[in-house]
Amino acid sequence: MSAVAGATLQPGASRATQAGQPLLEVRNLKMHFTMTRGILSRGAAAKIKAVDDVSFTIARGETLGLVGESGCGKTTTGRCILHLEKPTAGEIIFEGQNLTNLGRKALNEKRERMQVIFQDPYSSLNPRMKVGAIIGEPMKVHGIYRNQKEREKRVAELLSVCGLNPKFMDRYPHEMSGGQRQRVGIARALSLNPHFIVCDEAVSALDVSIQAQVINLLENLREQFNLSYLFIAHDLSVVHHLCHRVAVMYLGRLVELADSDELFSNPLHPYTQALLEAVPIPDPDVEKQRAHRVMKGEIPSPINPPSGCVFHPRCPLAVGSCQQEVPGLRELKPGHWVACPRV
């Protein structure tokens, strides 16, 4: 199987999307950054393939998880979808329209429907603004509810939807706990009635007891407003719990994509297998039964990634041809896609 196969197939159509059109379709997305190196190399440019030929779809009401280790391209994928980054190549099709060749006005309208929730609520909230103003700002900018009274009513409503007392409107971010600030971030993301939200490590900084509260809130909101999420996280247990389907990335490439339960109970790609084995399960009896094999080596530099399959230097299944051929995704079972010719 050659690289071309990965480019032509459109992996990841879930049962829900087969019926109708997906809410979001990412086609052969590439984001390559050019880095000018130090003086010693006389300004020679290095290329980082942060996202390299990634394709997937997300249905209405669906949560797609995006996992993988630091630097594998999760955030960049999210930023390209939101048009915060102009992709090197590929297409983003949202609600049937190709964002890549949309005019400015139409693009802005579509972008209202797409929001983002970040990891660190503290750095993403303006410390000098009160919570009410923070949540109301997008409505003001986009000219919804021009009237202050109406806007305040809506802010109060959003706060209570997110499990906060409307009194919090008059507080500053530093007067709130981490979990409360994350709820403010969610309320702000909801203010323009989005259809799609990128949750980039949205619960990662929270303690377990608070994290569970926010996870439940995200699930309730999804059901209530038929939202779709791209849920980016490094905590695989949380991803398994929250996501219908999960995509695994390694060094800018998708290596596996499947229904959540299928991926976690039957991982096929050797990288996914190693990743899941590395996650400790909060049960000492289960842990005693598990093999604690450790994957060798570290993630290679994205500046000079390995040839062929980017995973081959760490892969227990690698053979000679893995150093030359870039494996495309293959559908080994309905809905279960793997980029490895050896499984």
Ligand X SMILES: Nc1ncnc2c1ncn2[C@@H]1O[C@H](COP(=O)(O)OP(=O)(O)OP(=O)(O)O)[C@@H](O)[C@H]1O
Q: Which of 91, 219, 325, 331 binds another protein (CB under 8 A)?
A: 219
Q: Please enumerate in sequence order all residues whose Cβ is within 8 A of that of 316, keeping only pairs 6 or more positions apart, or say none.
A: 270
Phi, psi of 245 (to 5 degrees): -130, 160
Least spacing, CB of residue 333 vs ligand X, in Å: 27
Q: By CB under 5 A, which span of 75-83, 107-115, 167-175, 329-337 interacts with Mg ion?
A: 75-83
Q: ∠151-154-158 over CA atoms, to 5°? A: 135
Interface mask toward another protein for 98-127; x: CB under 8 A: ------------------------------
CB-nearer residue toward ligand X: 132 or 302: 302
Rule CB under 8 A: say whether 285 interacts with another protein: yes
Rule CB under 6 A: say whether 74 interacts with ligand X: yes
Rule CB under 8 A: say whether 8 interacts with another protein: no
Q: Is 35 helix (H, G, I), strand (E, B) or coil?
A: strand
25 near 206, Cβ under 8 Å?
no
Q: Tell me the C-alpha to C-alpha distance, in Å, between residue 64 and each of 53, 228, 258.
A: 18, 8, 10
Binding site partner of 283, from another protein, ligand X, Mg ion, none, Cβ cut-off 5-8 A by kind: another protein
CA contacts within 13 A on the Cβ side of 258: 22
Tokens of residue 70, six digits? 């630091």
257 near 239, Cβ under 8 Å?
no
Q: Which of 75, 115, 272, 273 binds Mg ion (CB under 5 A)?
A: 75
Read off the DSSP letter of residue 300: P
Q: Which positions touch ligand X (CB under 6 A)?
A: 33, 35, 48, 50, 68, 70-76, 234, 302
Q: Which positions touch another protein (CB under 8 A)?
A: 69-70, 177-180, 207-213, 215-216, 219, 234, 236-238, 240-242, 260-261, 264-265, 274-287, 292, 294-295, 298-299
